Amino acid sequence: MDAQPASEQELFRRSVRDFVAREVTPAAAELDERGEFPLDLFRRCGQLGYFGLRYPEAAGGGGADFTTFCLMVEELARGSLALAAAVSMQCLMGTDFVHRFGSDDHRRRLLAPALRGEKIGTIAMTEPDFGSDLGGLTTRAERTADGWVLTGRKMWITSATVADFFTVAAKTDPAAGFKGIDMFLVEKGMPGLQVGRRIEKLGVRASETSELSLEGVRVPAENLLGALGSGFKNLGAILAEIRTMTGALALGLAEATLAASVQYARERVQFGRPIAAFQAIQHKLAQMATQLEAARGLVQRAAAQIDAGRADMRLAAMAKLFASEMANQAADECTRIFGSYGFALEYPAQRYFRDARFLLYGGGTSEILKNIIAKELGL
């Protein structure tokens, strides 16, 4: 039989994989050691069109479906989860509200250059005392004659140190719970906006994370992103994408972990033969491979539902839950296969182990996701 031609989607995956093999993987260890935002590689991703991949061509994007976007995220994470995390923020949470609800001026000055990698956007939601409980946000937005004044503190803000604009979640009506949450566009340099200390993290060290303070930041009326009172609802519109994307990040890390484990098991000789010949090691690798494929199935199904216009919150929660836990288990097994060398900084096993922890928090903790799944089951 004649070989079937590769699909456009598969050709794209190969192109990203080639880029990662040439430019990302060789730099991953140094990026982790330096712990600095990977600006050069970030700009390269912009030049390659990755930031606009999921946006329509009319907005300067690539017009690709969400499944293709997840393939790109997965491949980047194979090389460096830190770079993939920074890119994912730019592609989705950092620019989505400006695309959907920004003014023509916002899209021209901020979104278009962000999709080219010339500007950097991020989202500011989490606070020192509120993460999963978004209804408890304390950042306030008070209406003025010509706009709004924002006051509050944010924590764990990805790329804040280098960001040109922020989508900030604030309470416009403290008594309205989730319905009182709105999103505001805040630009770098606005008086009262201050990027605080950078948080030194265990993993994904090249994806910089910082505190953010807003002390009477005045923004014009058009910087309210969406109708008043719709912020939480509008976030919900992309929540399935955020969780499915995080699942794709987990797939990429797990693939790198499995590949490193297989290679090391073939090379490491004990008792006169490669440790890959021992059934105990074979079982570990077989389990890692099986769980990876199971997670891939969930992520692909969740992405397919999004592409079909039927985003499934339960399926997205399952995909993120299973894939992130799987990646952490795989990273743990990797360090065990490497033995004492899994504890050595010269080998990647320890970086995979550290980076994997990041996947447990973004997009909802495992406990929150289980609550969501149980609720969808009618419990």
Return left, alpha or beta for 271; rule: phi > 0 is left, psi -120 to 50 is alpha, else beta: left
Residues 55-70 pLDDT 10s = 999 999 999 999 999 9
Question: Which domains, and CATH codes, for the chain?
Answer: 8-115 (1.10.540.10), 121-227 (2.40.110.10), 232-376 (1.20.140.10)
Residue 68's pLDDT is 97
Residues 257-310 pLDDT 10s = 999 999 999 999 999 999 999 999 999 999 999 999 999 999 999 999 999 999
Which residues partner with 195 through β-bridges? 212
- pLDDT band per the 50, 70, 90 thresholds, residue 134: confident
Average pLDDT over the chain reads: 96
Query: Measuring CA to CA, which residue among 33, 75, 34 is closest to residue 53?
Result: 75
Residue 6's pLDDT is 61
Residue 362's pLDDT is 87
| 3-class DSSP assignment, residue 82 | helix
Distance CA 172, CA 183 (A): 9
Residue 335's pLDDT is 98
Residue 208's pLDDT is 95
Q: How many alpha carbons lie under 13 Å from residue 269 in its C-beta half-sphere? A: 2
What is the average per-residue pLDDT within 318-342?
A: 98
Query: What does the block give as tokens for 246?
Result: 């995080």
Residue 2's pLDDT is 44
Residue 90 pLDDT greater than 90, yes or no: yes
Any idea what the Cα angle at residue 134 is, between residues 131 and 138, rounded to 5°? 90
Residue 136's pLDDT is 83
Cβ contacts of residue 286 below 8 Å, gap of 6+? none
Query: Measuring CA to CA, which residue among 85, 137, 94, 99 is closest to residue 119?
Result: 94
- Helix and strand numbers (H, E) in the chain are 13, 9
pTM of this structure: 0.95
Residue 369 pLDDT greater than 90, yes or no: yes
Residues 218-256 pLDDT 10s = 999 999 999 999 999 999 999 999 999 999 999 999 999
Task: Render the burial of 172-190: b for 16+ CB within 10 Å, e for the rest.
Answer: beeeeeebbbbbbbbbeeb
Query: Measuring CA to CA, which residue among 377, 306, 182, 68 is closest to residue 369?
Result: 377
What is the average per-residue pLDDT within 188-215?
A: 96
| 3-class DSSP assignment, residue 52 | coil
- pLDDT band per the 50, 70, 90 thresholds, residue 151: very high
Residue 4's pLDDT is 52
Residue 5 pLDDT greater than 60, yes or no: no
